[in-house]
Every structure is written in C-alpha cells, then in structure tokens.
C-alpha cells in the first residue's frame, strides 16, 4: 500500500527531517510509527498525504508514484486517504453531521447516500445521537471520534493518524485505538503516529521507530 523508496526530506533552512527512509506497508496492515517529537513522524505522514513533497526518493501509494502527481491532482490522491489529527480540525460553525459529511460532499455524493453513510460512520464511532450537536459542546474524546468518523466516512483505503490520542486520558486513548483496530479488521490500511509506547504495546500491532529522521527499528513483516 505504501512504499518509501530511499526518501529524504530536507526543509528549507537545511534541517533534515527524514533521511534515506525505506519502508513497505502492505495492504490491510496496521502499524504504529513512534519516536520522540522531532524524530520525523509527522513529516512521514505529511509526505504520504502530499502535504509535503520529498526532497529525494520516491513514494508509491497503491502503486502510484506520488512524484508524478501534479499539484492539481493532489485532491484525488487525498480522497483515498482518511487523515486524523491530534487537534481534530473540526469546523465549529456547523453541526457534527455537516462535519462528517464534508468528504462526501466534496466527492459529489447524492443527498440520500450522504445521509446514509454519515449515519453509518457516526454509528461506528458511537455518536449517532450527536449528529445535530455543535462540535464545541462535545468532550475531547467525542470530538476526536467525530474527526475519525469524518476520516472514514468515504471508506478510504488508507487511514493516517497523527497523535490521535495526544490529548486524551489512557482509557479514552485505548478506546480510540480499538476503534482503529476495528477499521483495520475490515480491510483498511492504518498507520498511526504515536509516542505512547504503553498503549502501542497493548495493541500488539507492528511498530516502526524513528530516531533523528531515520528508522531505528522496523517491526513490519517483510513484504515485497
């Protein structure tokens, strides 16, 4: 699903965020990305989501070389990815339903279809009753779940999460992680950046450790 071929990323100013990363994440795999802050976790996810472009090397996403994707085509790549952020990036000027519906509206789904899918997504994160609520009135954990519902509502092939439990207490964090595991069980590839080692160990999925922009440990099963 994801293939990093000798990827380096140098930010303007000379800071090397990633250097010579080689990585293969198989379809349907769930994995964790760990490391101290500044190790390059976020940069790695941003390269996949095409928020940043690599300085060197090639990234293949489901066989597509992202270097060949023009800026105009980036939206169509992103439609196959669900992204979850630490600060969930919800829009507070509209209710939960409208937040979750955004990816479907963008992709031009029909009204009835949107209604059906948003309900299904909210049901999966256990927030069906909150569809008309303003996100600001929800708790941190609930807001994160709305963010997850928005990321999975269009059934993406790949789910990326950047510190999704950063602001949550251990119990809620585990709940969120179990939610990701459930999506993984139905075939979605999941890559989660987190520094919460205890939580990761509880989950039992393979772990990739980054240190100073390089892979220090790769627990992924070998794939071609």
Where on the chain is the footprint of other proteins (CB under 8 A)? 49, 51, 61-64, 72, 75-81, 83, 89, 91, 93, 102-103, 105-111, 113, 150, 155, 157
**Angstrom distance (rounded) from CA 81 to CA 158:** 5
Are the beta carbons of 218 and 208 closer than 8 angstroms?
Answer: yes
Cβ closer to other proteins: 64 or 197?
64
Running DSSP on this structure, what letter comes out for residue 180? H
Min separation Cβ 190 and other proteins, Å? 16
Tokens of 56: 């060197």
Cβ closer to other proteins: 113 or 169?
113
**Angstrom distance (rounded) from CA 212 to CA 17:** 7
Min separation Cβ 86 and other proteins, Å? 14
Min separation Cβ 83 and other proteins, Å? 6
* Bridge partners (DSSP) listed for residue 208: 33, 218
Min separation Cβ 62 and other proteins, Å? 4
Cβ closer to other proteins: 108 or 204?
108
Cβ closer to other proteins: 106 or 197?
106
**Angstrom distance (rounded) from CA 22 to CA 42:** 16
**Angstrom distance (rounded) from CA 191 to CA 208:** 10
């Amino acid at each position: 699903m994801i293939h990093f071929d000798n990827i380096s990323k140098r930010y303007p100013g000379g800071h090397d965020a990633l250097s010579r990363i080689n990585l293969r994440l198989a379809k349907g795999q769930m994995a964790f990305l760990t490391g101290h802050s500044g190790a390059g976790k976020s940069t790695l996810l941003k390269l996949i989501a095409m928020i940043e472009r690599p300085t060197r090397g090639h990234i293949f996403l489901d066989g597509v070389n992202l270097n060949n994707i023009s800026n105009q085509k980036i939206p169509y790549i992103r439609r196959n990815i669900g992204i979850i952020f630490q600060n969930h990036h919800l829009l507070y000027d509209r209710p939960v339903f409208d937040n979750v519906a955004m990816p479907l509206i963008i992709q031009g789904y029909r009204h009835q279809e949107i209604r059906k899918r948003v309900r299904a997504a909210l049901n999966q994160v256990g927030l069906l009753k909150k569809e008309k609520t303003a996100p600001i009135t929800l708790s941190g954990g609930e807001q994160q779940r709305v963010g997850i519902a928005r990321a999975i509502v269009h059934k993406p092939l790949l789910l990326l999460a950047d510190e999704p439990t950063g602001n949550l207490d251990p119990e809620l964090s585990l709940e969120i992680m179990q939610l990701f595991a459930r999506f993984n069980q139905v075939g979605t590839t999941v890559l989660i950046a987190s520094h919460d080692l205890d939580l990761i160990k509880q989950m039992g999925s393979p772990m990739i450790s980054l240190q100073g922009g390089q892979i220090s440990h790769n627990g992924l099963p070998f794939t071609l």
